[in-house]
Amino acid sequence: MSSCEVGDVRRTRALVVFLAGLLKRPGGKVTHVFRSSKLRERTYRILNNVAVHATALMAAMAQFCGKQASKEKRAFLILDGSSLNFVDRFGRKDFGRIGTYKSGARGLKVITGYVLSAAGVPIGIGWQTFWARLKRRRQHSKSADVHRRKTHQKETRYWLETLKNAALHLLTAGCRKLWVLVDREGDSRPVLEALADGGFDFTVRSSADRLLTRGANGRKRMLRAVMRIAPVMGDYEVRVARSDTRAARTPALIVRAKTVDLVLRERWSKSVTRILRVNVVWAKERTPPRGEQPLDWMLLTTAPIETLNDCLEVIRSYELRWRIEDFHKTWKSNHCRTEDSQLHSRHAATTFAILQAAVATRVEQLKHLHRQAPELPAQEVFSFEERRAIEVLAIELVEEPLAAGGHRQSRLRAPDPEKMTLGEAIDWIARFGGYIGKSSGGPPGAHVLGRGLLCVLDLARVIPILEKANLKRRGPSK
């Protein structure tokens, strides 16, 4: 963020101070981040300063993300849409409608380009595009209104803008191989054409049955009808996590693959714009439980599909798309609580949300590094002050007597800051946040890691001050 160009070095310093405050004490309101009234006032001024453009903030974040992605053999760019629901009871703020028109909710829409390493560890934010929806004209239905407009008049343009800016910064920074993942919401003719013109691999989940080129007999062909008779490559088991509406299960998917020629055409004029050759991997659940919708993934890709392993690589790449849903949860409600903001303008809310996205990405990165690379040295992620704070808090936790009988926790040992691994450091951070370490509960999530990280960052800020004061008290050594 120190490289952010906002026209004045004082503004840049204020942004750095604000971001540092968010890292140490994230919150949905500025009053939760800073206890000092002076810092609060300074933060409100920088958030409402029209000279601080969202594009400048995003460019700084994208440049840093590109540098990190250039160290990887392959990077995944996930494009996904979401919305931020802000308090606007009387409609006096310059937000727009989100969700259904009947709900009356107001806020901002956003498309995020989320970048992962080949192992699925979050790297950073490639780009974000924010906008407020305009009120739709009542005389036209939504579908008719969308079909009448050109691409630059639709919300599709925000998908194209995010893709263009994210890919530009990643490739300019030296990213060797980029693989773009898009869910059904982004499946449209302009997006497919932009992906094909970009020259990088992509996987797009098809949202509807698509028209193919005519067969040898001259008859009309549709994608699903052709894929029903496509060769079966094999089976694949995928783990489906438990949710509020379904139980956890591990269904078996039948995998089919075929190369097809899609007919891309404008929906209004019906004119064909391009014939796009893509590989298709169709993974569908064999026997779903009673009352459950079967898993059905129709994936359009440029990756090879000659063997079962090739097809499974495409399916696994699509599974990584769910990482952005974890980011959205951490960003909007879980750890950062961005939607709790009560800022009064779209400009201030956008600036605040972008900085909160950087904080949410770091928490998600720690969570997945703990699962993917626990053997790495902790010094690659944590400063010496942070590792020293982990040691001090661990000593306090180890020496704390148990409630029953006063016995001490002899099984735990405080880590050495110089020899600490990343897995040990994150394990302790999770314990500070309330994680009890039972295998039945799974690995620590973003919520407990965020709480524990607050303790570590607070103490890491205090330790150098205390050591400096202690040195002054003792006087110069002889």
Residue spans per domain, the chain: 54-335, 374-474
C-alpha distances out from residue 128 to 131, 143, 164, 355, 406, Å: 10, 26, 11, 11, 53
pLDDT digits (tens, 9 = 90+) for 431-461: 888 887 765 567 888 888 888 888 888 888 8
pTM above 0.85, yes or no: yes
Q: What is the pLDDT of residue 292?
A: 82
* Phi and psi at residue 272, to the nearest 5°: -75, 130
Q: How far apart are CA 317 and CA 303, in angstroms?
A: 10
Half-sphere exposure of 344 (CA within 13 A, CB side): 5
Letter string b/e over residues 286-303, b meaning 16 or more CB atoms within 10 A of that residue's CB = eeeeeeeeebebbbbbbb
Cα–Cα nearest to 304, from 296, 314, 318, 295: 314
Q: How far apart are CA 54 and CA 50, in angstroms?
A: 10
Q: What is the pLDDT of residue 448?
A: 87
The yes-or-no verdict on residue 61 having pLDDT over 50 is yes
> Which of the 8 DSSP states describes residue 229?
T
C-alpha distances out from residue 307 to 179, 204, 235, Å: 19, 20, 12
CATH placement of domain 54-335: 3.90.350.10
pLDDT digits (tens, 9 = 90+) for 94-127: 899 898 777 788 999 999 999 999 999 999 999 9
pLDDT digits (tens, 9 = 90+) for 320-376: 999 999 999 999 988 899 999 889 899 999 999 999 999 999 999 999 998 888 899
Tell me the fold of 374-474: Transferase Inhibitor Protein From Tn5; Chain A, domain2 (1.10.740)
- Model confidence at 478, pLDDT cuts 50, 70, 90, reads very low
Q: How far apart are CA 183 and CA 85, in angstroms?
A: 22
Question: How much is the mean pLDDT over the chain?
Answer: 86
